[in-house]
């Protein structure tokens, strides 16, 4: 080593002795960043109003504000709740709607928070019993009602004085003004009672005439039946006489033998009637 030149290690030790003793500082630690996306970009589409969304599609819990994107229905956090809330950029694959591509309509879309946290919590609490009561019930078969007959099939019930009197008595027992008429002659019956009483008295007066009309119709019906019973055999004989020539011609054509020799390979058709023999004969 050359003279007059000190070794570098001695110089470093001497320099360290001249420096004052200071505490060694710890290395800097990066602080935890918020996970919400922060971007100055805005979506040109109209802003979303939270009051117009379903109550189960928004979450306004402080520090965890989320909502379902109206376009792709994927749950996305809300950023900028203190100044200008908006949806963070997200992909449609979160909702399982195809490949991973950006939701262009819902990303960075502004949100108008026009509902308070207290009102949101109240609606959520009110919706819990409503959803719990929405359960499937047993389907009961509807009873089959008979189809009413057509107007042309309706048979009017003939009016009878006995039936009208029974209806009037039943009404008088259930109606207070009509029941008072039997005790007080100055009392007035109700309109229904007066109508039933008038109908009953009219049928009583017309009952002999109605009975005579019914007897006349019954007598004419019996006479028509006797006349039909006498004329039916004669009409049947004349109808058979008119159809007899056609029947005879059909029988002749059925029993006629065609001209020419009969086929040798075919069996002859029996024309005589076959007599059936019983087991005892």
Q: Give the DSSP letter string of 203-217.
A: HHHHHHHHHHHHHHH
Residues 6 or more apart in contact with residue 43 via CB below 8 angstroms: 86, 87, 105, 106, 107, 108, 109, 110
Q: Specify the 3-state DSSP secondary structure of 237.
A: helix
111 vs 47, 117, 151, CA distance in Å?
5, 15, 65
Dihedral over alpha carbons 35, 40, 45, 50 (to 10 degrees): 50
pLDDT number for residue 218: 92
Strand order in the sheet with 58-59: 58-59, 66-68, 75-79, 86-87
- Tell me which DSSP letter residue 86 carries: E
User: Which residues on neighbouring strands pair with residue 112, listed in sequence order?
Assistant: 49
pLDDT number for residue 190: 85
Domain boundary among 227, 246, 267: 227
Domain check: are 58 and 122 in the same one? yes
151 vs 7, 14, 147, CA distance in Å?
132, 129, 12
pLDDT number for residue 219: 93
Dihedral over alpha carbons 177, 181, 187, 191 (to 10 degrees): 50
Contact 46, 71 (CB under 8 A): no
Tokens coding 20: 């004052």
Domain boundary among 209, 227, 245: 227
Domain check: are 109 and 178 in the same one? no
- Kindly report the backbone phi and psi dihedral angles of residue 107, in degrees, each rounded to the nearest multiple of 5, phi listed first: -70, 135
Q: How far apart are CA 84 and CA 47, in angstroms?
A: 11
With respect to residue 238, please indicate whether it lies within any of the assigned structural domains. Answer: no
CA proximity to 59, closest of 114, 103, 121? 121
Q: Specify the 3-state DSSP secondary structure of 153.
A: helix
Q: Name the pairing type of β-strands 75-79 and 58-59.
A: unpaired
With respect to residue 104, please indicate whether it lies within any of the assigned structural domains. Answer: yes
With respect to residue 116, please indicate whether it lies within any of the assigned structural domains. Answer: yes
pLDDT number for residue 2: 45
With respect to residue 232, please indicate whether it lies within any of the assigned structural domains. Answer: no
Domain check: are 118 and 162 in the same one? no
Contact 33, 85 (CB under 8 A): no
Looking at the structure of the chain, the number of domains it has is 2
Residues 6 or more apart in contact with residue 78 via CB below 8 angstroms: 65, 66, 67, 85, 86, 87, 88, 111
Contact 193, 165 (CB under 8 A): no
Q: How far apart are CA 115 and CA 52, in angstroms?
A: 10
pLDDT number for residue 14: 53
With respect to residue 190, please indicate whether it lies within any of the assigned structural domains. Answer: yes
With respect to residue 219, please indicate whether it lies within any of the assigned structural domains. Answer: yes
With respect to residue 105, please indicate whether it lies within any of the assigned structural domains. Answer: yes
User: Which residues on neighbouring strands pair with residue 224, listed in sequence order?
Assistant: none
Q: Please state at what angle helix 161-174 crosses helix 191-255, rounded to 10 degrees.
A: 140
Q: How far apart are CA 190 and CA 43, in angstroms?
A: 77
Full domain range(s) for residue 212: 158-227
The tens place of each residue's pLDDT in the chain, 281 residues long, gives 444 444 444 444 454 555 455 555 666 665 665 555 566 777 888 888 888 888 888 888 888 888 888 888 888 888 888 788 888 888 775 545 555 677 888 888 888 888 888 888 888 887 776 655 666 677 788 888 888 888 888 887 777 888 888 888 888 888 888 877 777 666 677 888 888 888 888 888 888 888 898 899 999 999 999 998 888 888 888 888 899 999 899 888 888 767 666 666 666 666 677 676 665 55
With respect to residue 163, please indicate whether it lies within any of the assigned structural domains. Answer: yes
């Amino acid at each position: 080593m050359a003279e007059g030149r000190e070794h570098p290690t001695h110089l470093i030790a001497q320099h360290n002795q001249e420096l004052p003793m200071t505490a060694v500082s710890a290395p800097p630690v990066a602080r935890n960043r918020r996970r919400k996306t922060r971007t100055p970009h805005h979506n040109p589409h109209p802003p979303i109003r939270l009051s117009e969304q379903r109550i189960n599609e928004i979450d306004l819990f402080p520090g965890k504000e989320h909502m379902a994107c109206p376009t792709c229905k994927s749950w996305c956090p809300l950023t900028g709740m203190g100044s200008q809330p908006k949806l963070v950029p997200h992909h449609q694959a979160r909702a399982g709607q195809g490949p991973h591509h950006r939701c262009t309509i819902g990303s960075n879309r502004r949100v108008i928070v026009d509902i308070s946290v207290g009102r949101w919590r109240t609606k959520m609490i009110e919706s819990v019993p409503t959803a719990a009561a929405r359960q499937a019930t047993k389907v009961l078969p509807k009873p089959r009602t008979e189809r009413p007959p057509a107007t042309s099939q309706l048979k009017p019930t003939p009016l009878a004085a006995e039936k009208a009197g029974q209806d009037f008595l039943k009404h008088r027992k259930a109606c207070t003004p009509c029941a008072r008429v039997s005790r007080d002659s100055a009392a007035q019956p109700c309109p229904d009672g007066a109508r039933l009483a008038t109908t009953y008295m009219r049928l009583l007066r017309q009952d002999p005439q109605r009975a005579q009309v019914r007897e006349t119709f019954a007598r004419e019906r019996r006479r028509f039946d006797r006349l039909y019973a006498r004329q039916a055999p004669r009409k049947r004989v004349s109808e058979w006489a008119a159809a007899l020539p056609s029947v005879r011609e059909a029988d002749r054509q059925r029993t006629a033998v065609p001209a020419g020799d009969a086929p040798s390979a075919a069996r002859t058709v029996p024309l005589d009637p076959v007599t059936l023999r019983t087991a005892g004969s």
